Amino acid sequence: MSCCIVLGAQWGDEGKGKIVDLLSAEAEVVVRFQGGANAGHTIYPDGRKVVLHLVPSGILRQGCVAVIGNGCVVDIVELAEEIAALRNMGWSVSPDNLVLSPGAHLVTAMHRALDGVEGGKIGTTGRGIGPTYADKSRRVGIRIESLLDGSFPERFQALASRYRAQLHELTGEVPPDFVVPTEAVEVVRPFVRDARQLILDAARGGRNVLYEGAQGTLLDVDHGTWPFVTSSTTTIGGALSGAGVWVDFTARIGVVKAYTTRVGHGPFPTELHDEVGAALQERGKEFGATTGRPRRCGWLDLPLLRYAIDVNGLDRIALTKLDVLGGVDPIRVAVGRYDNGDPVYEDLPGWAEDITAVQRFADLPTACRDYVGFLEEQLGIPAAIVSTGAHRDHTLVRSSVW
């Protein structure tokens, strides 16, 4: 059996969607285990752009079942819209290829409203993620299973009165009436089934199972730059609790962008405030897939990557957006920290060529190969996949993952 996991090694937006899409060609099950519609995976499966927030990208592969695990938080209105959008583009979405765990928690308009009031402090995506996970821990939330037993409307109303009181207290304004999203309930209900058993059967049956992380290691609620984090376990432990099945991952892939970005507030030691940062933002199209916010840009930070390797047991990396560094010379990389916490940089030579069309790693410019080699040597793990552009065929697979 092969169980592969793809995790963000930085602050999210590393390009996980593309890597998961690539690996899902050989996967029979693709599992999301944490987060919700705060994630945004942009993929170009047939040249056309598809942005997925909740649905695992395995949905775009025939014969692959996409699973939303119990560790996720699901906005059913958003999910219904995503299903409709995929169908409109001609993709098949049915209970045969999309499964939603009854144990996942529901994100509703009231959670989004509270996030809108409270989330500004740290710059959340405003998708109701924090309040929903808080309700899960406070044991007042609503689980997807309530769509099956008919208890959803009553639970929704009970929670709505709590939220209306809280929002009133916080804002001094009359809160909106929160309305049960009945249409979305009907769309989503057929997809609810025992996800845990499905994953267990697939893993025990020796089928290829791919775990798709959302956000990144440094946004993990425990191991990230708290409190500037998301509210879920984005690291490897979240994969076990968020799917409910013990698996021994045969490949643990950290997706690493060739430079660093972050959206929202919080520390960013290698951040650039100059024209190089602006150029990376523009060339890398560094604007959030979920919120459209510009991403802060900076140099690659190896101490943070070493930390991500330790937290997750990463055994290889997938290096993305290498093409965006073209024309940047020299390229700086943080290799350590001074006693005061400032990054220690090393300068590496850049390259001027456009590398997007290169089909073999050996054909990349020498400076580009040396950059990859430097990272591998510094991190002690190989760059198994190198991505040189947004599209499926802009990918150099150097060693098989499955």
Q: Name the segment binding ligand IMP (CB under 6 A); options: 116-124, 195-203, 273-281, 360-368.
A: 116-124
264 binds ligand IMP (CB under 6 A): yes
Residues 292-331, mask of contacts with ligand IMP (x by CB under 6 A): ----------------------------------------
**Range in contact with ligand IMP (rule: CB under 6 A) among 68-76, 171-179, 225-233, 374-382:** 225-233
The reply to whether 235 sits near ligand IMP by the rule CB under 6 A is no
Q: Which is nearer to ligand IMP, 129 or 368 (CB)?
A: 129
Nearer to ligand IMP, 130 or 244 (CB): 130
Q: Which residues pair with 336 in a beta bridge?
A: 344
Chain centre distance of CA 199 = 20
- In one letter, which amino acid is 400? S
Site string for ligand IMP, 40-59 (x = CB under 6 A): x-------------------
Q: Which of 215, 320, 387, 388 binds ligand IMP (CB under 6 A)?
A: 215
Catalytic, out of 41, 105, 111, 394: 41
* Using rule CB under 6 A, residue 13 touches ligand IMP: yes
Shortest Cβ 130–ligand IMP spacing (Å): 5
Number of residues that bind ligand IMP (CB under 6 A): 21
Q: Does residue 41 have an active-site annotation? A: yes
34 binds ligand IMP (CB under 6 A): no
- 123 binds ligand IMP per the rule CB under 6 A: yes
124 binds ligand IMP (CB under 6 A): yes
Nearest to 69 by CA among 108, 36, 43: 36
| Alpha-carbon span 176 to 276, nearest angstrom | 45
As measured in angstroms, the least distance from the Cβ of 283 to ligand IMP is: 19
Residue 38 touches ligand IMP, criterion: CB under 6 A: yes
Does residue 234 interact with ligand IMP by CB under 6 A?
no
| Residue pair 58/64 in contact by the 8 Å Cβ criterion | yes
CB of 123 to ligand IMP, least distance (A): 5
Single out the residue of 130, 244, 277, 343 in contact with ligand IMP (rule: CB under 6 A). Answer: 130
- Which tokens go with 259? 């430079």
Catalytic option among 13, 75, 135, 323:
13
Q: Using CB under 6 A, pick the residue from 12, 175, 213, 244 that binds ligand IMP.
A: 12
What is the full DSSP assignment across 15-30?
SHHHHHHHHGGG-SEE
Q: Which stretch binds ligand IMP (CB under 6 A): 35-43, 300-308, 324-332, 383-391?
A: 35-43
- Is 363 a catalytic site residue? no
Q: Which residues have C-beta within 8 Å of that of residue 88, sequence separation ≥ 6?
A: none
Q: Quick one: 122 or 200, whose CB is closer to ligand IMP?
A: 122
Say if residues 327 and 21 touch (Cβ distance below 8 Å): no
Residue 284 binding ligand IMP, by CB under 6 A: no
Cβ at position 373, least distance to ligand IMP in Å: 28
Footprint on this chain of ligand IMP (rule: CB under 6 A): 11-13, 38-40, 122-125, 127, 129-130, 214-215, 219, 228, 230-231, 263-264
Catalytic positions, please?
13, 41
